[in-house]
Amino acid sequence: MEKRPLGKTGITIAPMVLGGNVFGWTVDEKRSFELLDSFIDAGLNAIDTADIYSAWVPGNHGGESESIIGKWLQKRPGNREKVVLITKVGSEFSPERKGLSERWIVQAVEDSLKRLQTDRIDVYLSHWPDPQTPYEETLAAYDKLLKAGKVRSIGASNLNAAQLSESLSVAKSKSLPRYEVLQPEYNLYERSQFDGALRGLTQKENIGVIVYYSLASGFLSGKYRTKDDAGKSPRGKGIAEKYLNDRGLRILAALDQVSGELNAQPSEVALAWLIARPGVTAPIASATSLDQMARLVRSTQVKLSSGQRALLDGIEQS
């Protein structure tokens, strides 16, 4: 499997990142292990999670995803060296356990390391901007973790171009480590957050980019095409309300055309489009079944022609 450099981190990843948000939510521990095994067996290597996953589930408290990944690593000796572990800090557990202060980062990293049952995190991300904490304090806290070997590289999720630029300026002026990885929302439907100034900045600064909501919460799989389809899943109503409109239907039509030409699934084409996009290192996608995992793997092998890319690119202007 082809590996791509993740910006200047010195880390290389396959062109697909497994989303761990479903572990402990819609996927139990046994199935999570099966999915992780299948992912690694296919030659893929990067796993994305966060300390907060999946606190939104009744009865959960956060940390469930990290804990499942940690148990899997312990039961699969040797896999830790194959895996690039990506996790995040900053989401709110409680008023005292949130944000990007040095106090919370220092505590949160120890909690994540314990749950993951490892001695280091490969990519540690600031999950959300924290207007209450100066970049200097956050980056200084990460500097200590980097020097201690507890994290190998740092990055941020959900920063806009102005915020990322400011963080880079602070890092340079204060001789602190900078964010080397960005994780924005980006897919065939939602392009505004990354295309433009943010993409230009990451390319100029050689910052690795792994994008989330790669399938627009499943809409780009083609599963939701009418209002009646909204009842197919607990999230169906919200997905239909957000994406099931004229533009969404044009995107599905284009995906149908290209997937028919390639004998592929719409989800595979949507992910292949992201893999081929300039400035994107890899998309993140989740799987809840081995069939879905097979589609993720196949998406890394789909090659779009210039005409097919142009068709999908042009939906934005249609």
pLDDT at position 227: 78
Report the half-sphere exposure of 194 (CA within 13 A, side-chain side): 28
Please compute the mean of the pLDDT values over residues 148-170 and round it to a whole number: 98
pLDDT tens profile 94-137: 999 999 999 999 999 999 999 999 999 999 999 999 999 999 99
Beta bridge partners of 156: 126, 182
Q: May I ask the CATH class of domain 4-183? A: alpha beta
First to last CA, the chain: 35
pLDDT at position 240: 84
pLDDT at position 317: 64
Instruction: Using pLDDT thresholds of 50, 70 and 90, give the confidence band for residue 85.
Output: very high
pLDDT tens profile 25-83: 999 999 999 999 999 999 999 999 999 999 999 999 999 999 999 999 999 989 999 99
Q: What percent of the chain has pLDDT over 70?
A: 99
Structural contact between residues 266 and 299, judged by C-beta atoms closer than 8 angstroms: no
pTM of the entire structure?
0.97
Structural contact between residues 93 and 66, judged by C-beta atoms closer than 8 angstroms: no
pLDDT tens profile 207-258: 999 999 999 999 999 999 987 887 767 677 888 889 999 999 999 999 999 9
Average pLDDT, the chain: 96
